[in-house]
Amino acid sequence: MADQQRFGAVQGEGQYAAQVEQAGVGPISGDTADAEAVKVVTRTHKTLIWERTRTTQRLRHALLDYFPAALEAFEDLDAPDVLELLAKAPEPAVAAKLTTTQISAALKRARRRDIADKATKIQAALRAKHLGQPAAVTAAYADSVHALVALLVTLNEQVNFLHGQVEDYFGRHPNAEIIRSQPGVGPILSARILAVFGDDPHRYASAKARKNYAGTSPITRASGRKKAVTARHVRNDRLIDALIAQAFSALRISAGARAYYEKQRARGIEFNAALRQLANRLVGILHGCLKTGTPYDEATAWSQRAHALAA
């Protein structure tokens, strides 16, 4: 199975490389050392976030099997206060004996609000009656949860550490101001976008080439009188993830982005496809800003002239 997965990944990379070559995109060897440094820390940061999500899901499944009260008591299983309490009391019988003072102390260290009310609700949930496992099985699950909790604590620490490093490395890059000025991005999304696009000014022959590389532009297939427009399925997942997140955030802060999105929806396009088209438009706007060396401007970005540059 592992060999099959690796083979599939290699096939996907090969298809993506072929697609990039056909899109008019140059090699990535022209990227600067600053861009490469941003790429290294952002990839590791995102990988650890994915690993934290997977570990949290493993923790959730384990608790569901032997300690369902914990799932009713706690919302964010990877939150510091939850991890502290689970480490202290991974067994249902022990957790049921936690006092509101102990719970409140953990909530206070995590800087929660409405501590007294939350502590009371958590204690009540932990003391509720549920079907349990035999003692030996419960003990085995508790040991497993203890290990998962310790792993999540470490992952949280390293994700936070790399968050700062991503901001630091990205902030040093000459294109940071231009990319950061785009609607819907913070320093982390900006860094991810730079990391995957690179910073070689000659790499993308046009906005269309950058869109093709991003995987946001549609594929048009024509045969006789028939024409089909479909989304690209071979693409860089890290980049498309960042661009879709940007598009979703841009809806709240950019009138131009909201109007463009609503226009697509009015044409009968579904939510995900309309969001992808907005992401495609934003990639074109970014290309224009980088080409001219100017930060994003709301009025300019959605003008007719800007539309032509971003096409």
Q: What is the pLDDT of residue 13?
A: 45
Token reading at 190: 């900006």
Q: What stretch of H or E contains 171?
A: helix 135-172
Q: What is the pLDDT of residue 6?
A: 40
pLDDT tens digits along 253-301: 999 999 999 999 999 999 999 999 999 999 999 999 999 999 999 999 9
Question: In a 10 Å sphere around its CB, with 0-12 CB exposed, 13-18 middle and 19+ buried, how is residue 41 labelled?
Answer: buried
Q: CB-hemisphere CA count at 13 Å for 305? A: 5
167 and 187 in contact (C-beta within 8 Å)? yes
Average confidence score pLDDT of the chain? 87
pLDDT tens digits along 245-263: 999 999 999 999 999 999 9
211 and 219 in contact (C-beta within 8 Å)? no
Return all residues near 101 (Cβ < 8 A) that are at least 6 apart.
none
Return all residues near 195 (Cβ < 8 A) that are at least 6 apart.
35, 38, 39, 42, 43, 238
| Lowest-confidence pick of 84-93, 176-185, 195-204, 216-225 | 216-225
Number of residues in the chain: 311
pLDDT tens digits along 94-107: 999 999 999 999 99
Return all residues near 93 (Cβ < 8 A) that are at least 6 apart.
none
Instruction: Tell me the C-alpha distance between 110 and 84, whole Å.
Output: 10
- Residue 24 pLDDT level (bands cut at 50, 70, 90): low
- Is residue 308 predicted with pLDDT exceeding 70? no
- Residue 7 pLDDT level (bands cut at 50, 70, 90): very low
- Is residue 147 predicted with pLDDT exceeding 90? yes
**Coil, strand, or helix at residue 134?**
coil
- Is residue 9 predicted with pLDDT exceeding 50? no
pLDDT tens digits along 46-96: 999 999 999 999 999 999 999 999 999 999 999 999 999 999 999 999 999
| Lowest-confidence pick of 28-42, 50-64, 155-169 | 28-42
Instruction: Tell me the C-alpha distance between 155 and 238, whole Å.
Output: 20
- Residue 228 pLDDT level (bands cut at 50, 70, 90): very low
- Residue 12 pLDDT level (bands cut at 50, 70, 90): very low
Q: What is the pLDDT of residue 286?
A: 97
Place of tokens 């995987």: 215
